[in-house]
Structure 1
């Protein structure tokens, strides 16, 4: 389906129906255009739609999804970090709330953030926090070389996240895979 807010909400509702709140973890990776008010999606023939940080936080709350890893790749995506943070929530954004991120072009397979975090750092057998910090350092180096205004990716890892993250990390592959 098209990446509309309505389709996003329907998919989240269905996931919540089948999730075991005590056992499962929502991993949400979304990449799109961003604005200071949220993430913008192409809604097919209907035009564009947006999901604000407050709306996403309300949806997750309404569906009882507390255990979550949220990775938001968009300009200004740091606006999602404060409202989505919580004791059982890990949130990573491509940029600060007042900054653009880079690498979004039709000819690119990855944005800077997607390449550094998903394509490189998360392919290595290392804890999430180490992977995020490695990605942030790599992005900063690319931006410095390109003389770009730093995007300042943001992260928040709740105090109770390790309870569900550690068993998941224990099952990760022991060997890195090459970037694509």
Structure 2
């Protein structure tokens, strides 16, 4: 028991000391400086069938937000169904094989952890990725293959995305979804800038201390937004944090950021 307690204390000391040592070398280093991140826009259609920029707006601005939270811009890879529409960013094509290969390539060069974020439509069978569905068991296999033996954070912004929680559970993983497994989410019309969930992620990130606090803030924000707009039944975003990762997440603290000028 004493040996185990000593080992845990030693790991905590190392984690706490790591950002301090890194800061002396490079001001932008931090707990997420060597994490791989993939951000995917899975569709470009509104629920009406017409075009919408909501998912690509989320893809673009979540990537920027991750950089503000301490992820290296060079370790964030974006994917869009219509990549040629965004020449300034040059996202990859939303394709499961390319996304898997991209995450695996980034993870080799950034071995500290992995983040996967997708914004799209969803169904009880999975999340839409271009013309197909990405089912929970396949996403779990992709992340397990690309990011073994390291902490990971998975964010699924889609209707019915709670179906991803149980298949993706691991001791060192956090999962945040836009809805329960039997509920829709909101905000993917032709006129929406972002889906409600992505809007709340972006507006909550600047004041959150870490990903656990960010997940709780997003849940509260979505609930408020749905009450204010009369969207029902409530989507009830889901947050699950593995037992090994839970006590360590406060040590993966976000760097200080300027106060946001306002919410979206």
Same fold (TM over 0.5): yes
SS in 2 for 1:172: coil
Q: Note the C-alpha offset of 1:25.
A: 1.4
8 A contact 1:123–1:176 mirrored in 2: yes
Aligned to 2:207: 124
1:70-85 matches, within 5 Å, as 70-85=154-169
Gaps of 5+ in 1: 43-47
Report the Cα distance in structure 1 between the residues aligned to 2:242 and 2:221, rounded to whole angstroms.
24
Larger radius of gyration: 2
SS in 2 for 1:50: strand
Q: Which moved more, 1:150-159 or 1:8-17?
A: 8-17
Aligned to 2:228: 145
Aligned to 1:3: 94
Aligned to 1:38: 126
CA deviation string 1:113-144 (max 9, x = no partner): 01112x11111142322222222122112212
8 A contact 1:93–1:153 mirrored in 2: yes
8 A contact 2:168–2:175 mirrored in 1: yes
Q: Note the C-alpha offset of 1:159.
A: 1.4
SS in 1 for 2:93: coil
Q: TM-score, normalised by structure 1?
A: 0.84
8 A contact 1:5–1:50 mirrored in 2: no
Gaps of 5+ in 2: 1-91
Q: Note the C-alpha offset of 1:174.
A: 5.0
8 A contact 1:26–1:65 mirrored in 2: no
8 A contact 1:125–1:172 mirrored in 2: no
CA deviation string 1:15-54 (max 9, x = no partner): 233232xxx1112211111111111112xxxxx1221110
8 A contact 1:60–1:66 mirrored in 2: no
Quickly say closer, same or farther: Cα 1:65–1:51, change in 2 above 3 A. Answer: farther
Quickly say closer, same or farther: Cα 1:138–1:160, change in 2 above 3 A. Answer: same
Q: Does 1:106 align with 2:190?
A: yes
SS in 2 for 1:161: coil
8 A contact 1:27–1:68 mirrored in 2: yes
Q: Which moved more, 1:96-105 or 1:157-166?
A: 157-166
What is the RMSD of the two structures over their aligned residues, measured on CA atoms? Answer: 1.9
Q: List structure 1 segments (4+ residues) > 6 angstroms apart after TM superposition.
A: none
Q: TM-score, normalised by structure 2?
A: 0.59
